[in-house]
């Protein structure tokens, strides 16, 4: 939904009320209840990324893994307890997803400004965008008004988050199940222009795949042995891992995709032409990525009286 201009204040209020009643999201959801929330998140993410550039990628991945499990509802932020099993220890997340303390910091600051008003789900959606922007990527208007889940699903996290070993057909069908088409999938995969991956996620790629540049494979094998070193890190984009750009697609065209699932996008299949297009047109990649992020952020949000506004993102109220 497009942002409303200040010259249409009355229209904005009426529209905001309509959105709330209909359970839809609006970029102006907190315009009167927490007008400074976006600036609070932006400042905190700037500080976090300056402190550790990798954090931009980590928060983006956290948001992605949240949205793919029962929608964008902050369920991934919930800690396990003696009586509650969350998603943090699901196979795609265990010892892997990170950035929870950054979200905690933002939540504390937001609560100080406007108590019990802004959901953890919305904070995560804003933080994902701002991390991308801090690393030179595109911005987009984040629709707001999500509420937080009171539940989580470790089994859904195990089954619905795309695997780094996935084939192209599995990627396309997995994204389609979330309402995202193949173009969305290829654009969102461009998020692998930033961040790092653990050895165990790409070991089979560098030792077993044949559609890989031999020098690239040798470089990666130097820090990812046949056995052991599972948590050793390698950049998803060997050239500009802390810069959000379209080099990821160039890497795919030279058979230097780190994950098997990355290289599947350029391996004689249906996405080859789009990979070439994004490699040649960074502006188009940015536009499509931003649009796909908005689309992904609209997956099954809790609105209205569903869910809650958690006071602590790690536990239900």
* Tens-place pLDDT, residues 291-309: 999 999 999 999 999 999 9
Return d(Cα 159, Cα 87) in angstroms, integer. Answer: 11
More confident of the two residues 253 and 24: 253
**Binding-site residue set for heme b:** 192
Is the separation of the CB atoms in 278 and 186 below 8 Å? yes
Tokens of 251: 């890497």
Q: What is the mean pLDDT of residues 26-34?
A: 97
Residue 40 has pLDDT above 60, yes or no: yes
Residue 280 has pLDDT above 90, yes or no: yes
Least Cα distance to 197 among 248, 158, 157, 156 occurs for 248
Task: Quote the pLDDT of residue 314.
Answer: 98
- Prediction pTM value: 0.91
**Binding-site residue set:** 66, 69, 71, 73, 75, 87, 162, 192-193, 237, 240, 245
Task: Quote the pLDDT of residue 145.
Answer: 98
Q: What is the mean pLDDT of residues 156-160?
A: 96
**80 pLDDT band (50/70/90 cuts)?**
very high
Is the separation of the CB atoms in 284 and 277 below 8 Å? yes
Residue 16 has pLDDT above 90, yes or no: no
Q: Which residues contact 183 (CB under 8 A, 6 or more apart)?
A: 274, 288, 292
Is 84 strand, coil or helix? strand
- Residue ranges of the chain assigned to CATH 1.10.520.10: 36-161
Determine the Cα angle at 180 with ends 278 and 163, to 5°: 85
Fold of 168-296: Peroxidase; domain 2 (1.10.420)
DSSP label of 192:
G
Backbone angles phi, psi at 264, to 5 degrees: -60, -25
Q: Residues 54, 65, 256, 314: which is the catalytic one? A: 65
**Binding-site residue set for substrate:** 162
Return d(Cα 65, Cα 60) in angstroms, integer. Answer: 9
CB atoms within 10 A of CB 108: 12
Asked about 65 being catalytic, the answer comes back as: yes
DSSP string, 99-114: -HHHHHHHHHHHHHHS
Residue 132 has pLDDT above 90, yes or no: yes
Q: What is the mean pLDDT of residues 202-216?
A: 98
Tokens of 101: 């303390």
Task: Quote the pLDDT of residue 10.
Answer: 33
Tally helices (H) and strands (E) across the chain.
14, 2
**23 pLDDT band (50/70/90 cuts)?**
low
Is the separation of the CB atoms in 265 and 252 below 8 Å? yes
Backbone angles phi, psi at 81, to 5 degrees: -135, 180
- Using left for φ > 0, alpha for ψ between -120 and 50, and beta otherwise, residue 247 falls in alpha
Fold of 36-161: Peroxidase; domain 1 (1.10.520)
Return d(Cα 131, Cα 54) in angstroms, integer. Answer: 9
Task: Quote the pLDDT of residue 6.
Answer: 37
Task: Quote the pLDDT of residue 289.
Answer: 98
Print burial letters for 42-57: b (CB count within 10 Å at least 16), e (below 16).
bebbeebbeeebbbbb
Task: Quote the pLDDT of residue 24.
Answer: 86
Nearest-10 crossing angle of helices 182-189, 282-297:
110
Residue 277 has pLDDT above 70, yes or no: yes
Give the mean pLDDT of the chain. Answer: 93
**Binding-site residue set for Ca(2+):** 66, 69, 71, 73, 75, 87, 193, 237, 240, 245
Tokens 């820090």 belong to residue:
223
Residue 37 has pLDDT above 70, yes or no: yes
Task: Quote the pLDDT of residue 19.
Answer: 40
CA distances from 277 to 41, 175, 182, 285 (A): 33, 21, 14, 8
Residue 168 has pLDDT above 70, yes or no: yes
- Residue ranges of the chain assigned to CATH 1.10.420.10: 168-296
């Amino acid at each position: 939904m497009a942002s409303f201009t200040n010259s249409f204040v009355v229209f904005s209020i009426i529209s905001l009320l309509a959105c709330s009643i209909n359970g839809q999201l609006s970029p102006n959801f907190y315009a009167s209840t927490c007008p400074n929330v976006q600036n609070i998140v932006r400042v905190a993410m700037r500080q976090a990324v300056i402190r550790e550039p990798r954090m931009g990628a980590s928060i983006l991945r956290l948001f992605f893994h949240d949205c793919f499990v029962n929608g964008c509802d902050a369920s991934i932020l919930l800690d396990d307890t003696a009586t509650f099993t969350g998603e943090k220890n699901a196979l795609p997340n265990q010892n892997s997803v990170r950035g929870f303390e950054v979200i905690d910091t933002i939540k504390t600051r937001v609560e100080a400004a406007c108590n019990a008003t802004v959901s953890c789900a919305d904070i995560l959606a804003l933080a994902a965008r701002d991390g991308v922007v801090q690393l030179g990527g595109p911005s987009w208007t984040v629709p707001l008004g999500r509420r937080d889940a009171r539940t989580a699903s470790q089994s859904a996290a195990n089954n619905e988050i795309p695997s780094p070993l996935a084939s192209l057909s599995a990627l396309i069908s997995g994204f389609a199940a979330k309402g995202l088409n193949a173009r969305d999938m290829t654009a969102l995969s461009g998020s692998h222009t930033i961040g790092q991956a653990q050895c165990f996620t790409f070991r089979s790629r560098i030792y077993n795949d044949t559609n890989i540049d031999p020098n690239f494979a040798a470089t990666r094998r130097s820090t990812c042995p046949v056995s052991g070193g599972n948590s050793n890190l390698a950049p998803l984009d060997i050239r500009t891992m802390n810069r959000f750009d379209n080099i990821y697609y160039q890497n795919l065209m030279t058979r230097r995709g780190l994950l098997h699932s990355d290289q599947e996008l350029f391996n004689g299949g249906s996405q080859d032409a789009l990979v070439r297009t994004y490699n040649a047109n960074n502006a188009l990649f940015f536009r499509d990525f931003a649009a796909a992020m908005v689309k992904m952020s609209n997956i099954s949000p809790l609105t209205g009286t569903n869910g809650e506004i958690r006071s602590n993102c790690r536990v239900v109220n």
